[in-house]
Structure 1
């Protein structure tokens, strides 16, 4: 049989391996490609601005899907104990409240992780109901958090049942009262703040003097937005508590509600590329992938990743049954080349998969990695490029 060849120019979508199928829309971050520093931040602002504004009352409804646990209960970061025994759990609707009882475990309300007083407290402002910084939280803990900055507490003057605490800050550069969430949710908080600094880039410079605690956090500019001590801490929290499946799922859900996304959940590397804080251990993704195909062979070609932190190579994995059949590689494991796995050094920019069946759809994922042998570390968080293609008959 004569083999017919075709040439296709395709773009591999940088999409996350998620349980939620919403995912990152094709081309969503194209405007940000190749940028760094304040230019990248401004490009992201143009992408995520103009979202659909919901009412403050609607947040109660939104929480049902944006902040629900697998058991259907409220996911309250101020009371949750990952892997441990919870002091209490809340049922949506039944346990919501607008008032503040004087004890913990009574009800949940709506918490502005970026306090409303920081932006002036205007209930008609877009940020007032922006889900990317609003969460359900125990009412009593919310009250004790007040509008204190987030920070690292030395000796706690108050501690919640899950270990969140309030007290004097021990971060270099500030010694006032702060509120410290548990380690499991510090990255969530940091990425909320990076989102606010980006989405509200055109307003945040005017917020510094709205309140004393806001002045402690904000420096009166649109870039870098935050005081040095606070920015350094956010970078550390972002690095030490990387993006979780909870955040990925929530990002997708809020996108379905508001029509915009938190870029720092989709692309954690943007934090370092913009602000230069946090360990730059997020590998950049390759881009611009032309590919040629025939009945029995598929060639994949790409343009290598660019930026400050580059991969040593790529593991390209293939399946004939679907993307879900392609498992994430395990750190410290080197997978030998075979019919379904190809290890490609940085700079080669292409590989062939051969001896394939005609008229069959094949699925590919490309995993960046650094290191070799037991030190090999794969990038499986954030987004993993994937592509499907059908061979000719």
Structure 2
């Protein structure tokens, strides 16, 4: 490999453009998607993440990388060349970037990789916005590995024709469904790219039907529909990568950084279970745990959301003045409407207020976690139901 030039470190002034100050999604960001599955959930997420998406110019991608793809040591986080803890080479921001032409080998410079290739959504030479600069699929990568990847789909390569210094492979896809050339990233980043692809067919749900005809490589993985969008073999592959390489702190940090820049989020990083609800087996079991820290302050109740692999979509809080035993256990499939004695609260809000109470009266409360809504609602009613009593003041 050619020896890379050594440069003195440059001092950069951050940020290179003005950013709003926020990170986590606002409370209720995914409320409209609660209880939905399959195509309805995918469309709901599309409507959520298209709102607030303010595309940046392609030239701004370079400066955005300084915020979205920076390692703890200040180097470029390149998933095509990185080996966690022991990368074969690393890049300095700005000074090591390259914008035009080809390079003869790895380790020379990094550029802007469209992990969803440009030729899949239009003529490769055209800058088609907002896909062209969408940071949820544009990553900084080694220029030579980018060249070798070409516009091949991600896949599984058992007998590679070429292997990068970090172990990424190019060769014939070795699993049923497609026998053409494919690019296989290392295991540490397969989930990242799977969630990238789930984002792309969701954010661009209104366009993806036409993408199958743009490129033979796109036709290898897309089915020409907005749902499920992918061919069955590719759904199986992406789900397996999504499950084997769970959401990392790197992805969470990047999701927040991209949100700060372009104003939308990747829901499959925030809520990994959405993948299964849309493309997997769909409905899951009732939540595994009840909330903790259930307490009251006059007529305001507070709690810590239930944890575990199966999270609730919401909670039913029921009130009585006759004691805990008089609070009726809800029935699966029969949703309870909000009224004086009952409140439904979405997961993530962690508080509810009951009004119109009589001073000096003791009120009794129980909280029930549930999945879904309507006729498929599933309440968690076993175990010890969290309860609290309070005297109204």
Task: State the TM-score, normalizing by the size of structure 2.
Answer: 0.71
Contact (CA 8 Å) 2:55, 2:129: kept in 1 or not?
no
Q: Unpaired segments of 5 or more residues in structure 1?
A: 1-19, 314-344, 355-391
Larger mean Cα displacement after TM superposition, 20-29 or 164-173: 20-29
Q: Look up the match of 1:180.
A: 184
In structure 2, distance between residues paired with 1:31 and 1:72: 38
SS at match of 1:95: coil
Report the Cα offset of residue 303 of structure 1: 3.7
Q: Look up the match of 1:284.
A: 311
Encode CA deviations 1:70-107: one digit per residue, 9 max, x unaligned: 11110000111113x21100000010001321110000
Q: Look up the match of 2:152.
A: 148
User: Structure 1 residues 300, 153: CA separation in 2 closer, same or farther (over 3 Å shift)?
Assistant: farther
In structure 2, distance between residues paired with 1:49 and 1:229: 28
Q: Unpaired segments of 5 or more residues in structure 2?
A: 1-20, 285-307, 315-344
User: Structure 1 residues 299, 188: CA separation in 2 closer, same or farther (over 3 Å shift)?
Assistant: farther
Report the Cα offset of residue 168 of structure 1: 1.2
Encode CA deviations 1:96-123: one digit per residue, 9 max, x unaligned: 0013211100000000111010001441
In structure 2, distance between residues paired with 1:216 and 1:232: 14
Q: Which protein has greater RCO, CA pairs closer than 8 Å, 6+ apart?
A: 1
Q: Look up the match of 1:350.
A: 386
User: Structure 1 residues 299, 82: CA separation in 2 closer, same or farther (over 3 Å shift)?
Assistant: farther
Encode CA deviations 1:310-333: one digit per residue, 9 max, x unaligned: 9998xxxxxxxxxxxxxxxxxxxx
Encode CA deviations 1:252-284: one digit per residue, 9 max, x unaligned: 010000110000000000001011169979412
From 227, 230, 233, the equivalent of 1:229 is: 233
Matches within 5 A, 1:211-230: 211-230=215-234
Contact (CA 8 Å) 2:371, 2:379: kept in 1 or not?
no
Q: CA RMSD in A?
A: 3.1
In structure 2, distance between residues paired with 1:175 and 1:147: 15
In structure 1, distance between residues paired with 2:363 and 2:75: 47
Contact (CA 8 Å) 1:239, 1:279: kept in 2 or not?
no
Contact (CA 8 Å) 1:299, 1:350: kept in 2 or not?
no
Task: State the TM-score, normalizing by the size of structure 1.
Answer: 0.71
Contact (CA 8 Å) 2:110, 2:142: kept in 1 or not?
yes
The structure 1 segments of at least 4 consecutive aligned residues displaced by more than 3 Å after TM superposition are: 277-282, 289-294, 297-303, 310-313, 345-349, 351-354
How many residue pairs get aligned? The number is: 304
